[in-house]
């Protein structure tokens, strides 16, 4: 069946472009899709973040299953990452439920946080070599202890 009233060309084109980038790199989806939803389509920040997280969750679960079956995941590293990200996500969800997601203040906080995160990511990518060089002594000591 064809449902032309369900297809919106700008949304479809945006999803296709972001999907291509995610497919090629494995990252970038949230860094592009959430700002696109907020800035280009005028969607409330909490709705944009929630929609992007739902999509990312589904795609990451399927990608994790494939990579896990191929033995391409270091589960020790995954557990270490989860030990910080799971409590962090729980705290963020509790904070949003406590203050409400539809308030103007929450929207501003989400937008500001997204902006800062995107700027930090851009700076980290631009200065990656310098940052790795500066962190090398610490990383060398860390490797020798573990």
Please indicate, yes or no, if residue 88 is contained in any of the structural domains: no
**In terms of residue numbers, what domain contains 37?**
4-74+100-145
Structure tokens at 101: 């997601």
Q: Report the SS3 class of residue 101.
A: coil
Sequence length of the chain is 146
Q: How many domains does the chain have?
A: 1
In a domain, 84, yes or no: no
Q: What is the 3-state secondary structure (H, E, C) of 31-80?
A: HHHHHHHHHHCCCCHHHHHHHHHHHHHHHHHHHHHHHHHCCCCCHHHHHH
Sign of CA dihedral 57, 38, 111, 125: positive
Question: What is the percent of the chain with per-residue pLDDT over 90, rounded to a whole number?
Answer: 16
User: In whole angstroms, what is the distance from residue 17 CA to residue 24 CA?
Assistant: 11
- For residue 144, the surrounding DSSP H or E stretch is helix 128-145
Is the pLDDT at 61 greater than 60? The verdict is: yes
Residue 64 lies in a domain: yes
The whole-model pTM stands at 0.65
pLDDT digits (tens, 9 = 90+) for 63-103: 888 889 999 999 999 899 999 999 998 998 888 888 887 77
């Amino acid at each position: 069946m064809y449902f032309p009233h369900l297809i919106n060309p700008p949304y479809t084109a945006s999803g296709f472009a972001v999907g291509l980038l995610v497919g090629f790199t494995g990252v970038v989806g949230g860094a592009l899709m959430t700002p696109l939803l907020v800035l280009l389509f005028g969607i409330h920040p909490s709705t944009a973040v929630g929609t992007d997280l739902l999509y990312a969750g589904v795609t990451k679960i399927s990608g994790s299953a494939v990579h896990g079956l191929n033995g391409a995941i270091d589960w020790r590293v995954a557990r270490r990452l989860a030990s910080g990200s799971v409590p962090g996500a729980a705290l963020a969800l509790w904070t949003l439920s406590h203050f409400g997601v539809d308030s103007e203040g929450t929207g501003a906080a989400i937008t500001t946080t997204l902006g800062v995160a995107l700027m930090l990511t851009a700076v980290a990518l631009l200065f990656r070599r310098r940052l790795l060089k500066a962190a090398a002594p610490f990383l060398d000591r860390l490797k020798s202890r573990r």
